[in-house]
Structure formats: C-alpha cells, structure tokens
Amino acid sequence: MTWIVQAILSFLAATGFGIIFNAPRRMLFYCGFVGMTGWLIYSLFNGISGDPMQASFLGAFMVALVAHIFAKRFRTPMIIFSVAGIIPLVPGGMAYNAMRHIVEKDYLTAISFASGAFMVSGAIAMGLVFAEVIIQLVFRSGIGRKRVKKI
C-alpha cells in the first residue's frame, strides 16, 4: 500500500513542479510519470541497499532515461521532463536539518547532514550525466535510429 501512496505523491509533486516551471499542459502527465518512475526506483533501491547515494544515482539515471525517451517521442526538449522529474529526489530534508543544526550550534550533526545532502546531490548529478552519455553513445552508434534502406 505504501508503494501506491508514494507513487501517487511523487507523481503529484513532479506534476506540480511541471506547472511551476511552465511545462506545456499536454506534457504535465508525462512530467509526473518521469518523477514517479525516478522516485519508485530510488525507493526500491534504497530499501534494498540502504544507501541513499546509490539509490539517488539510480533514480536520477532512470529519470534521465525516461526523459530522453519522452523527448524523442514528443519532439520536445528533454529538460521539460527531467527538471520536473528530478524534484522528488532532491535531498531537501537533509539540507533543512543541516541548517537547523547550524542555527542550534550543533555543528557536528550539521556537518553530517550537510555532507549527506552534498553527496546525494552529487549522486543525482552523476546519474543525470551518465544517462546523457549513454544515450548519446546509443544514438551516435545508430542503435537508436530507424534504419532506412537505400535503393
């Protein structure tokens, strides 16, 4: 049951940020789908491995892959899907806790939260970049294109 609730909430969060970032109306459903996919992959792998950095990397990787697929299918920029779709993965809670502990002058705990947020953010960036590189390699090699017979 919690998977269904997480799927719905991550879909709504990504769709809401699609609205905030002025994504075209007809693409809002797909923005939500990209965010939901990334969050479910993150949640699955975080439950298996217990490592939020690895799970964030895989979630961001999936967001970028699905965003590329939708961008090709709908002939729109990939950024429409990836920006809205990556929002559920952003470690806002960790960053908030780091700032809260700094204000409370609990610097050791703040450093722990801040370094965690920094590493998760780096994992998200790496997931997006790795997916971009793999997609570019696939399209350059011709695997991603339809072959047209020349007469």
pLDDT digits (tens, 9 = 90+) for 51-80: 999 999 999 999 999 999 999 999 999 999
Distance in angstroms (rounded) separating the CA atoms of residues 10 and 89: 9
Using CA atoms, how far residue 24 sits from 12, 13, 15, 54, in Å, is: 16, 16, 11, 32
Distance in angstroms (rounded) separating the CA atoms of residues 74 and 70: 6
Residue 16: what pLDDT?
Answer: 96
Task: Give the closest residue to 21 by CA, choosing from 67, 64, 83.
Answer: 83
Residue 145: what pLDDT?
Answer: 60
Residue 142: what pLDDT?
Answer: 72
Residue 111: what pLDDT?
Answer: 97
Using CA atoms, how far residue 77 sits from 3, 44, 81, in Å, is: 30, 28, 8
Residue 148, pLDDT above cutoff 80? no
